[in-house]
Structure formats: C-alpha cells, structure tokens
Structure 1
Amino acid sequence: MIEVKVDNEYSALKSVILGLAEDMGDPPKVFDVYDPRSLYHIKNNSYPNQDDVKLEVESFYEILKKHNVNVLRPSNIQNCNQIFARDLGFSISNIFFQSNIVPNREEELVGISDIINALDAGVVKLPDYMHIEGGDVIAHNEKLFIGTYSGEDYSELITARTNQESIKYLEKMIPSKNIKSINIKKSNTDVFENVLHLDCCFQPIGERKALICPDSFVDKSDVDYLISYFGEKNTYIAYGQEAYMLISNILVISPEVIVSDKRFKKMNTWLEKNGFLVEKISYQNVSKMSGLLRCSTLPLLRE
C-alpha cells in the first residue's frame, strides 16, 4: 500500500506522482484547446514537440531521484498528454481527493487508477457538479488556500476549473482546516488575463515564505491578505514577464531544496539568498502548455 500524508507544500517530499510525456499524440487543433497559452502557441507554430517535452520531464525525474524521492508514474495512454498530474487529485492530511476535471482530460485519470487503488488512505470523489482541480488546492498546515472563480460567466469559461460548491463541500469534509478561497482571473482567449490555477500565481515555500504574482488576482484584498500573512520581506513578488512565465509554479522538495526553471534568474537568486539550494532545470517547453513543475507533480507523502 502507498502511504498518504500531505499537510503543506514544503515538508520533505517522500512520494510523488510525476507526469508522463511518452505518447502525447499530435498537437491539438485550435478547437480542441482548453487554455489560452496553448492556443497562442498553436496559432504561432511554437507548440512544443514530444521529444523536447519528454527530455524536460525526465530531467525533472532525475532531480527527484537525486533527492531520494519515491517517484511513481502514470500508466501510458496512447495519444494523451499526461504531463500535468497535479490536477488529477490532491492529498489533504491522510485523505486523497480525486478531482472532477474538465471532460477533455478525464482519460488522464485512467492512467493513475492503479496508483489510486493502492493508496493506504481514504479516497474521496466529489459529486459530479462540484468542479475542482489539484492546481487550485494549496495546503498550508491548518490553512487551505483554494483558487476559484465566482463570476456569473463561470459556465462559459473552460479555464474556470474550481467552483464554490466544491469549496463548501471541503469545508464540511475537513472542518479542521481553515479554508481561504481566492478569486483568480479567467479568460478563454487572452493569455495575459488568464490564470489557469492558483499555483500559477501563488505558492508557499515555507511556513512564512511565499511567491506571489499580484496582477493575477481578481481582488486586491486577497493579495494584501497573503502579503500580510507571510510578511512582505518573506514574499517574492513578481509582475509582468516574470508572472507571465509562471514563476510561482516551482516545486519544493524540502525546507532546504527547491526545483526551479533556469530562466527564473532573479527569483532563483532571491531563493538562494534566503538559504535554499535551487536545482535549476529547463522547463520552457512544458510551460507552453500552461504548467510547470508543481503542475507536473502530485505529492502523496511529505514528512
């Protein structure tokens, strides 16, 4: 059986599902795309090829193994992009929640079904009308930050992945957690006005350290709350091109080690000045599909 326990984003990572880039199939057609960043790269003939993406994901695998993380992989599904494992579920304490993801991605759940069946934990599948994806769920000990979108046009936005109904359900399921919902910007077509998941604009990297991209939030009050909570001197704040590159979507392996994209030079320097060992890899091609390092991983056990 596979042990499950996750209380935050930064305790030592022991077991994780890492996405797969073995058989992505042909690039999607314009009408099949479900995020504006992928749409942009398809229209501009810059959508990544499988070989380049696989090289990046496997280099990430090597870093995880280097730091003695038990890495599980989905079973391969032909012609299916299985890189972004994070969205398929999330672990809160010793409970595993299986996500209700957008219909376009349901096949990906088949790839991790054997892993889910082997979990030594309660497995909860939310009712179908409750939408939630793991990229919107960020555990922080007694707190749980959840990205959502509460606009009246929710049903028209394929980029809106987590609704209020799922948050209310989690409040009842795990009353021990203080849930803070955060509205993030959504657009089906404008990559500069869309944040696919909360981890694309915010992530705690320690009990009192975080990465934040303020322009990605709907409400300034949420930004002010987060900066006040973590402390301005402990918060790396990114705007413009840095935010566009999704700099918050790194992976914390332990309180001392972070995996980051080598393009994030300014932030990586800040992390090193704050005492982290930063393992830098190339993940630019993966990022063209709207996710990076956190998006590619689904932690099952942290120390």
Structure 2
Amino acid sequence: MKLNIKNETSRLRAVILGSAVSNGPVPRIEEAYDPKSIEHIKAGTYPLESDMILEMEAVAKVLKKYNVTVYRPEEIQEYNQIFARDIALVIEDKFIQSNILPRREKEIKAIQYVIDQIPSENVFKAPSEEIHFEGGDIIVHNDHIFIGTYKGEGYSNCIVARTNMKGVDYIKSLFPNKIVKEFDLNKSMENARDNALHLDCCFQPVGSNMAIIHKEGFRDVEDYQYLVDFFGYENLFHIDKEEMYQMNSNIFSIAEDIVISEQNFTRLNTWLRSLGMKVEEVPYAQIAKQEGLLRCSTMPLIRDK
C-alpha cells in the first residue's frame, strides 16, 4: 500500500473506519476517558451499541458511494474500537503509531492487517513511552502540521491531555521540512463544554482555504490569532461553545467539495452548502456522546496528490 496524506481535504481514496460492533457494556465512571462520556454515564443516556452501529454504517455507506476503500478493525469482543483516529495517523507516506492510553493498546492490534500492507520502512512508533500524541491532535495542511497540546500544570494527571511537547518534537523530527506549529488547548475533566479533547474538537480545515474554529478552545489567544492570520478571518466559520460541545468542528472531508457532517449541524451545513460543497448528512449524535465525531472515527490512508 502506497500511503499519501498531505492535507485534510484532498480526494479520499482509502480510510480506516472504526467499529461499534461488540462495543461492550456502559463503562464505569472511573473507566471513562472524557467528561462528556461521564456526563452521559451519570445521566443514563450513554449510547447504545445498536444505535452506534447504525450510525457508523451510515458513514460506511457514504464512503462507498464515493468509491473509497474502507478498512475496518478486526473485532475485539466487548471493546470500544470506534475512534480510529486516536491510535495512529498518516502524514505523507509515513504511518505513525500513537502512544495512547495503556488501556487502549489492543486497538492497534486490530488494524495490524492494514499495517502489514505498508512497507516496514514507512511504519513508525515513538521510541519512548514519555512521547505522547494522538491523531486527533495532529492536522496536516500541506507544508504545515498543526498540533494540539497542553502546556498547563499537571499534564501527567490530566487524562484529557493527550499530546505533550515531546510528542510535538517527535513529529518535528520526522518532518524537518514542514512547518510544525503547536497550539495550547483548554482542558477540563469537569465540564465538557470547556474541554478541547483534541485539536480537531476546536479547529479543522475544510475546502481549499477555509476552516471551522472555536476561539475559546485555545488557552492562548495568540494561538487562535495565528490561525486567523493564516486563513483570514473571512474564511473561518466560528462555532460557539454549544456547537463545540456537539462536535461541529469534527466533520470529515472526502474531497475539497464533499464533506460528511452530522445531520443536526444546521448552521454549519448551511454555510458549507453556501460555499458550493456537497454535504452528506448522517446521524452521529449518539457517538458524539463520547466526545468524538466523524474525524475521530476515521483515519485516512490515501488521498489524491
């Protein structure tokens, strides 16, 4: 397999889509990784496996409509395998395995059959357990790589902080010719509306020169301003705290003019269509209860050059 990922929006050809099959029972509060899941566990509204399977199959159907090759993880009994973006990522022709939470290490084994199709010299894993990063924090934009991190106190005790500066430095070492810019994100284990779990929870490029953004997701206003200057204010779609909570920035591009979006994102979808984009709407509100959406559950392998 010849990998190729240089940005978030070129025409998609191959992708790993997670799976909700045999997702397991509702987790205990102490087993949850994020405040939104805890909120729904406490409220008795945590998503049902049957509903999440239907949502993911709707995405698979759209991908196949556009002749995208779709790989799914091998089934692990009673194990959450929805968020394929967390466990690895592709930049250019390199497959880079994330250092994820220890309880999630089985997930990478479920896509080993895909990794085996990639030349071994193009498969990378961080050499130290102290190097942390997840795919949701890493956004490729041509000659730039944008990375979400957390520079606040108590990183090691902050379960919603998934990428550290050692992770940023490791990505820099792999791509010395790219401009790598990190962004310090707001984190909260108590309130999901104040928690940018990953960079793609508060920012994502769409089309050729536009992006969705949530200003309050950034701890440092200068990080937000960097993106305003980079894209141009007029090319940014600003989402509010409630829209961020509902994961409006976590849609998924099949091409510059084709996106998959949640069917309830009325304001966002109207804006996307005003730009001439084809918006494929799917139900994904149940999966969103785990603080992840469409980008989180997909890991692109090949896009057109």
Q: Kindly indicate whether the alpha-carbon contact (under 8 Å) linking 1:140 and 1:207 is maintained by their aligned counterparts in 2.
A: no
Equivalent runs, 1:73-84 vs 2, <5 Å: 73-84=72-83
Q: Kindly indicate whether the alpha-carbon contact (under 8 Å) linking 2:207 and 2:257 is maintained by their aligned counterparts in 1.
A: no
Secondary structure (helix, strand or coil) at the match of 1:20 reads coil
Secondary structure (helix, strand or coil) at the match of 1:292 reads coil
Q: Distance in 1 between matches of 2:256 and 2:195?
A: 30
Q: Which residue of 2 aligns with 1:254?
A: 255
TM-score, normalised relative to structure 1: 0.98
Q: Distance in 2 between matches of 1:157 and 1:10?
A: 31
Secondary structure (helix, strand or coil) at the match of 2:286 reads helix
- Once the 2 structures are TM-superposed, how far is the Cα of residue 210 of structure 1 from its aligned partner? 0.4
Amino acid across the alignment from 1:124: F
Q: Distance in 1 between matches of 2:155 and 2:246?
A: 25
- Once the 2 structures are TM-superposed, how far is the Cα of residue 3 of structure 1 from its aligned partner? 2.0
Amino acid across the alignment from 1:204: P
Q: Which residue of 2 aligns with 1:122?
A: 122
Say if 2:305 is the partner of 1:290.
Answer: no
Equivalent runs, 1:49-198 vs 2, <5 Å: 49-120=48-119, 122-126=122-126, 127-198=128-199
Give aligned pairs, total. 302
Q: Distance in 1 between matches of 2:167 and 2:290?
A: 25
Give ranges in structure 2 of 5+ residues lacking alignment: none
- Once the 2 structures are TM-superposed, how far is the Cα of residue 297 of structure 1 from its aligned partner? 0.3
Q: Which residue of 1 aligns with 2:213?
A: 212
Q: Which residue of 2 aligns with 1:203?
A: 204
- Once the 2 structures are TM-superposed, how far is the Cα of residue 207 of structure 1 from its aligned partner? 3.2
Secondary structure (helix, strand or coil) at the match of 1:74 reads coil
Q: Distance in 2 between matches of 1:66 and 1:227?
A: 35
Q: Kindly indicate whether the alpha-carbon contact (under 8 Å) linking 2:17 and 2:299 is maintained by their aligned counterparts in 1.
A: yes
Q: Kindly indicate whether the alpha-carbon contact (under 8 Å) linking 2:208 and 2:256 is maintained by their aligned counterparts in 1.
A: no
Q: Distance in 1 between matches of 2:189 and 2:239?
A: 23
- Once the 2 structures are TM-superposed, how far is the Cα of residue 151 of structure 1 from its aligned partner? 1.2
Identity of aligned residues (%): 43
- Once the 2 structures are TM-superposed, how far is the Cα of residue 152 of structure 1 from its aligned partner? 2.0
- Structure 1 window deviating more from structure 2 (271-280 vs 238-247): it is 238-247
Q: Distance in 2 between matches of 1:285 and 1:76?
A: 20
Q: Kindly indicate whether the alpha-carbon contact (under 8 Å) linking 2:5 and 2:302 is maintained by their aligned counterparts in 1.
A: yes
In the TM superposition, structure 1's runs of 4+ consecutive aligned residues that sit over 6 Å from their partners are none
Q: Distance in 2 between matches of 1:99 and 1:80?
A: 18
- Once the 2 structures are TM-superposed, how far is the Cα of residue 233 of structure 1 from its aligned partner? 1.4
Q: Distance in 1 between matches of 2:24 and 2:86?
A: 20
Q: Which residue of 1 aligns with 2:237?
A: 236
Q: Kindly indicate whether the alpha-carbon contact (under 8 Å) linking 2:34 and 2:159 is maintained by their aligned counterparts in 1.
A: yes
Q: Which residue of 2 aligns with 1:27?
A: 26
Q: Distance in 1 between matches of 2:81 and 2:296?
A: 11
Q: Distance in 1 between matches of 2:226 and 2:81?
A: 35
Q: Deviations over 1:125-171 (max 9, x none)?
A: 00211001000000000000000001121011011100001111221
Q: Which residue of 1 aligns with 2:268?
A: 267
Q: Deviations over 1:27-74 (max 9, x none)?
A: 100111111000000000000010000000000000000011000010
Q: Distance in 2 between matches of 1:49 and 1:169?
A: 38
Q: Deviations over 1:157-199 (max 9, x none)?
A: 0111000011112212210110010011112222122111100
- Once the 2 structures are TM-superposed, how far is the Cα of residue 244 of structure 1 from its aligned partner? 1.4
Say if 2:32 is the partner of 1:37.
Answer: no
Amino acid across the alignment from 2:133: I
Q: Distance in 1 between matches of 2:264 and 2:219?
A: 27
Q: Distance in 2 between matches of 1:156 and 1:188?
A: 11
- Once the 2 structures are TM-superposed, how far is the Cα of residue 240 of structure 1 from its aligned partner? 2.5
Q: Distance in 2 between matches of 1:277 and 1:35?
A: 32
Secondary structure (helix, strand or coil) at the match of 2:290 reads coil
Q: Kindly indicate whether the alpha-carbon contact (under 8 Å) linking 1:262 and 1:282 is maintained by their aligned counterparts in 2.
A: yes
Q: Distance in 2 between matches of 1:192 and 1:270?
A: 23
Secondary structure (helix, strand or coil) at the match of 2:105 reads helix
- Once the 2 structures are TM-superposed, how far is the Cα of residue 107 of structure 1 from its aligned partner? 1.4
Secondary structure (helix, strand or coil) at the match of 1:288 reads helix
Q: Distance in 2 between matches of 1:105 and 1:233?
A: 40
Q: Distance in 2 between matches of 1:194 and 1:243?
A: 9
